[in-house]
Amino acid sequence: MKAAIVTGPDQTPTYGDFADPVPEAGYELITVTASALSPAAKAMAAGSFYHTAGAYPKVVGIDGTGRTKGGQRVYFSMPQAPFGAMAERVLAQAGNCVALPDGLDDVTAAALANPGLSSVAALTARAALRPGETVLVHGATGAAGTLAVQLARHLGAGKVIAAGRDAMALERAAALGADVTISLLGEAGTAAAALAEQFGGDGVDVVLDYLYGQPAETLLAAIGRTRGISRPVRYVVVGGADAQETTLPSMALRAAPVTVMGSGIGSVPFAAFTSAVGVVLRAAIPERLHIDTTTVPLAEVSRAWNTSTGKSRAVFVTDPVARVVGTAAPPS
């Protein structure tokens, strides 16, 4: 079969021939339609992801959409190694497959699933969001953060605050349901003051942090300097778009009731991720979830591998003619 293949770490995949997966009990043999290029997919291909199997050669890609042998349209994740999602066929455990809702096309589903599940899993499995609570999305201008704004509202948040470093994307976040937007550009003190203002008064219950690094230090320091925080803040680290490390001053934790936790493979049961995907896919059409996508033939994987940005998704398709325009439309 044709697939996107790497033979070692830190390589750009090449399009070529790879052995077909052999059907096994408990697994679905899936004919792949689309697979999105996510940061996790790139990190796993490079061998730098914290949950990476190191064997090479292998097919890249951690999730996608396609058809089972019985003809059911599904989203699948974590196909059996070395058969990654960017191939004509994969094997995926039956429990890692979610039926696609009618009306939601394969390309849109593939693009939405991974960034969408990050916020749903963080809000439900880690933060245990309760209806009416306030959520601050820290890094709300990337693809995952923009979806987090919409999905926090979908899950019952009473107030959503969007903080990010792209003015135009913050305007979009407001159109998508953010009650307050905060620019993280410019002087750190200005951003810190704006953040601290939100933790005073009515307060913030949950933080979803997609940035980490220096922006996390600024945010945690702002929380620590805010007096009169009346209820605990659940601070959930979801990503590291700014950096993978940060300094955590003890005063930030001693001066305010903050619980810091992570959300990812290992801290969240895998079944919860599968459940989160179902929430995202079922919400896609009624909530008009949107993510910018670029559809690319799988044969062009080498060219497009390094062009995807944090604000959009490259979606590789095995049959370019079969691409259906996304049903989940952007906000009007």
Q: What is the pLDDT of residues 161-194, one digit of tens each?
A: 999 999 999 999 999 999 999 999 877 678 889 9
CA distance 322 to 172: 30
Residue spans per domain, the chain: 2-99+291-322, 115-262
**Residue-level pLDDT at 248:** 83
Among 145, 123, 147, residue whose Cα is nearest residue 284: 147
One fold for 2-99+291-322 and 115-262: yes
DSSP-derived 3-state class of residue 220: helix
The answer to whether the peptide bond before residue 21 is cis (omega within 30 degrees of 0) is no
Question: What is the pLDDT, as a whole number, of residue 308?
Answer: 63
Architecture of domain 2-99+291-322: Alpha-Beta Complex (3.90)
pLDDT at residue 83, rounded to an integer: 92
**Whole-model pTM?**
0.88
Which residues share a beta bridge with 3?
16, 87
CATH number of 115-262: 3.90.180.10
Residue ranges of the alpha helices (H) in the chain?
Answer: 39-46, 106-121, 143-154, 167-175, 188-199, 213-225, 250-254, 270-283, 301-304
Distance between CA 62 and CA 84 in Å, rounded?
6
Q: Which amino acid is at 310?
A: G
Q: In angstroms, rounded to a whole number, what is the distance separating the alpha carbons of residues 298 and 315?
A: 9
Show the low-confidence residues of the chain (pLDDT under 50): 50-51, 322-332
Positive or negative, the CA dihedral 244, 249, 251, 253 is: positive
